[in-house]
Every structure is written in C-alpha cells, then in structure tokens.
Amino acid sequence: MVLDLLGYTGIKLVSIGIEIANICLLSCLLYLYIKSYRQIKIGFTVGLMLFATVLLLRSLFTIGFIMVDSTALGRPIYIGGLIEFIALLILLKITWDY
C-alpha cells in the first residue's frame, strides 16, 4: 500500500498536508459564512460559523499533535483527515453555488 511505501516521515508529512488543505477549505467556508451573515443576520449562519471555527481548531490541534506526539500517528489520523477533506470540499462547493 502507499502508506507502507512512504514510511513514517512520509505519512507524517502527508497527514500535515491534508490538515493544511482542510484549514484552507475551512478558512474559505468561514469567510463565506461571515460574508453571508453580514447580509442576512440569522442564527443558522452563526451556527455554520461556529461549526467551521470548531473544525478549524480541530485541524490546528491535529497538526500540533502530529508534530509533538510522534508515537500516536497512524492510519486513523490520515484517513480521518482525508474523509474530512472530501466532506469539506463538497460543503464548499454547495456553499459557493448558493
């Protein structure tokens, strides 16, 4: 499998890269939600802003966790970040269109 070929350092770098991509997507979403909130002040938009903020903090803490605790890195972090990236990409596409 690809993860076996990359080695430990490669997996660590790929995981950090995925989390950085997640941070970029979440920053775009947060920008769009803030822009939307300024136009129409409804509670749903506030909830979306809080949702994006919490996920943004999660991604930042995950990067810190990967860098500090070298023994806890494994496939769950890598796969979880990849699934989150795909979900955020879909959410950004839907938000951008509407």
pLDDT tens string, the chain, 98 residues long: the values are 555 566 667 778 888 899 999 999 999 999 999 999 999 988 888 889 999 999 999 899 888 888 887 665 555 667 778 888 898 898 888 888 87
DSSP letter string, 21-90 = HHHHHHHHHHHHHHHHHHHS--HHHHHHHHHHHHHHHHHHHHHHHHHH-TTS-SHHHHHHHHHHHHHHHH
C-alpha to C-alpha distance for 43 and 37, rounded to whole angstroms: 9
pTM comes to 0.80
- Structural domain span for residue 87: 2-97
Number of domains in the chain: 1
C-alpha to C-alpha distance for 66 and 16, rounded to whole angstroms: 8
